[in-house]
Amino acid sequence: MKDFTFYNPTRIEFGEGKEGNIGQYIKEWFRSISAPVTLAEAGLLEDAVDPIAENAFGNAKLWGMEQTYPKERIAKILKLAVK
């Protein structure tokens, strides 16, 4: 049987020892392809956080995760993503 190699064009290789900075590398990669990095860059401002958090909390309840992800926690995460 022949060996099979799959080429994944979305694979990002950062190099040995750079795993600790993966967040920064991903931000740089998004910027290099002109993609938004924050919710604000995507056009969402802080006043959109509560409705989005409410919707996400509804999903958390459906998935039985409302204890782990109460609406307040979701809103806090989203507010950090707006900056």
Q: Tell me how far apart the alpha carbons of residues 49 and 78 are, in angstroms, rounded to a whole number.
A: 6
User: With bands split at pLDDT 50, 70 and 90, how would you rate the model's confidence at 60?
Assistant: very high
The closest of 45, 42, 69 to 55, measured between CA atoms, is 69
The closest of 39, 40, 36 to 26, measured between CA atoms, is 36
pLDDT above 70 for 44: yes
Type of residue numbered 27: K
Domain ranges in the chain? Answer: 39-83
Q: What is the pLDDT of residue 43?
A: 92
> Taking residues 35-64, what's their average pLDDT?
94
The closest of 7, 82, 9, 4 to 48, measured between CA atoms, is 82
Residues listed for the chain: 83
User: With bands split at pLDDT 50, 70 and 90, how would you rate the model's confidence at 22?
Assistant: confident
Q: Provide the 10 A C-beta neighbour count for residue 39.
A: 19
Q: Tell me how far apart the alpha carbons of residues 52 and 77 are, in angstroms, rounded to a whole number.
A: 11
Q: What is the pLDDT of residue 83?
A: 83
pLDDT above 80 for 19: no
